[in-house]
Amino acid sequence: MVSEPRKIRIEIDKKSCKRCGICQGLCPQAVYSLAKDGSPEITNPERCTNCRLCDLRCPDFAITLEVLA
């Protein structure tokens, strides 16, 4: 039996983000990439497994993950 991959909505609050790069640098699934200015961009959202490590490790409370039904 193969389960449907869950859809995860990732939201980055750009006002809070200080561009430390931790979300991109440590994501086990390479969901993120960095823009020229160091801002994270969500380039592979379909790969997200909702491990929540980016959320928990974001020092600036800038990431919100939401599991879509």
The footprint of other proteins (CB under 8 A) covers 15-16, 18-22, 24-26, 52-53, 56-61
Nearer to other proteins, 46 or 54 (CB): 54
Nearer to other proteins, 8 or 22 (CB): 22
Least spacing, CB of residue 68 vs other proteins, in Å: 18
Nearest to 27 by CA among 55, 67, 6, 66: 55
Look up residue 52 and give its two tokens. Answer: 């929540």
Nearer to other proteins, 15 or 46 (CB): 15
Give how far the C-alpha of residue 53 lies from the chain's centroid of Cα atoms, to the nearest Å: 9
Least spacing, CB of residue 22 vs other proteins, in Å: 5
CA dihedral (14, 30, 33, 51) in degrees, to 10, reads 0
